Amino acid sequence: TCKVNFPDPNKLHYFQLTVIPDEGYYQGGKFQFETEVPDAYNMVPPKVKCLTRIWHPNITETGEICL
Protein backbone atom coordinates (compact mmCIF):
# COMPACT_ATOMS: atom_id res chain seq x y z
CA THR A 1 0.00 0.00 0.00
CA CYS A 2 1.30 3.47 -0.90
CA LYS A 3 0.07 6.94 -0.05
CA VAL A 4 1.28 10.24 -1.51
CA ASN A 5 1.16 13.51 0.41
CA PHE A 6 1.86 16.97 -1.00
CA PRO A 7 2.73 19.16 2.04
CA ASP A 8 2.50 22.30 -0.11
CA PRO A 9 -0.08 22.04 -2.93
CA ASN A 10 1.80 24.79 -4.80
CA LYS A 11 4.97 22.67 -5.00
CA LEU A 12 4.05 19.55 -6.93
CA HIS A 13 7.75 18.72 -7.42
CA TYR A 14 8.09 17.97 -3.68
CA PHE A 15 6.06 15.18 -2.10
CA GLN A 16 6.14 12.53 0.60
CA LEU A 17 5.44 8.87 0.03
CA THR A 18 4.33 6.39 2.70
CA VAL A 19 4.82 2.69 1.92
CA ILE A 20 3.19 -0.06 4.01
CA PRO A 21 4.25 -3.47 2.61
CA ASP A 22 1.59 -6.20 2.52
CA GLU A 23 4.11 -9.05 2.35
CA GLY A 24 7.83 -9.85 2.64
CA TYR A 25 10.44 -9.05 5.28
CA TYR A 26 9.10 -5.55 5.88
CA GLN A 27 5.42 -6.59 6.10
CA GLY A 28 3.51 -4.47 8.59
CA GLY A 29 6.14 -1.73 8.60
CA LYS A 30 5.45 1.88 7.72
CA PHE A 31 8.16 3.67 5.75
CA GLN A 32 8.19 7.32 4.80
CA PHE A 33 10.16 8.89 1.97
CA GLU A 34 10.49 12.43 0.72
CA THR A 35 11.02 13.10 -2.96
CA GLU A 36 12.12 16.29 -4.70
CA VAL A 37 12.07 16.41 -8.48
CA PRO A 38 14.51 19.07 -9.74
CA ASP A 39 13.62 21.58 -12.47
CA ALA A 40 16.19 19.91 -14.72
CA TYR A 41 14.42 16.55 -14.34
CA ASN A 42 15.10 14.01 -17.01
CA MET A 43 18.69 15.19 -17.11
CA VAL A 44 19.03 15.25 -13.30
CA PRO A 45 17.50 12.47 -11.18
CA PRO A 46 15.01 13.12 -8.36
CA LYS A 47 16.36 13.28 -4.81
CA VAL A 48 14.79 10.66 -2.55
CA LYS A 49 15.39 10.31 1.18
CA CYS A 50 14.05 7.69 3.58
CA LEU A 51 12.68 9.42 6.68
CA THR A 52 12.14 6.15 8.57
CA ARG A 53 15.17 4.64 10.28
CA ILE A 54 15.69 1.25 8.60
CA TRP A 55 18.43 -1.22 7.78
CA HIS A 56 18.57 -1.79 4.05
CA PRO A 57 21.67 -2.27 1.85
CA ASN A 58 20.60 0.61 -0.45
CA ILE A 59 19.72 3.14 2.28
CA THR A 60 22.38 4.90 4.34
CA GLU A 61 22.09 5.54 8.08
CA THR A 62 21.01 9.12 7.33
CA GLY A 63 18.34 8.02 4.82
CA GLU A 64 20.00 8.70 1.48
CA ILE A 65 19.06 6.23 -1.23
CA CYS A 66 22.08 4.63 -2.94
CA LEU A 67 21.16 3.16 -6.30
What pTM, to 2 d.p., does this model score? 0.83
Quote the domain boundaries for residue 45.
2-50
Q: What mean pLDDT value characterizes the chain?
A: 93
Q: Is the pLDDT reported for residue 12 higher than 80? A: yes
| pLDDT value of position 66 | 83
33 falls within a domain: yes
CATH number of the domain bearing residue 39:
3.10.110.10
Alpha carbons 6 and 36: distance in angstroms, whole number: 11
Q: Is the pLDDT reported for residue 63 higher than 90? A: yes
Q: State the catalytic residue, choosing from 40, 43, 66, 67.
A: 66
Catalytic: 50?
no
Contact residues for 34 (Cβ-Cβ < 8 A; gap 6+):
14, 15, 16, 17, 48, 49, 51
32 falls within a domain: yes
Q: Is the pLDDT reported for residue 67 higher than 80? A: no
Count of domains in the chain?
Answer: 1
**Average pLDDT, integer, range 7-24:** 95
60 falls within a domain: no
Contact residues for 55 (Cβ-Cβ < 8 A; gap 6+):
none
| pLDDT value of position 58 | 92
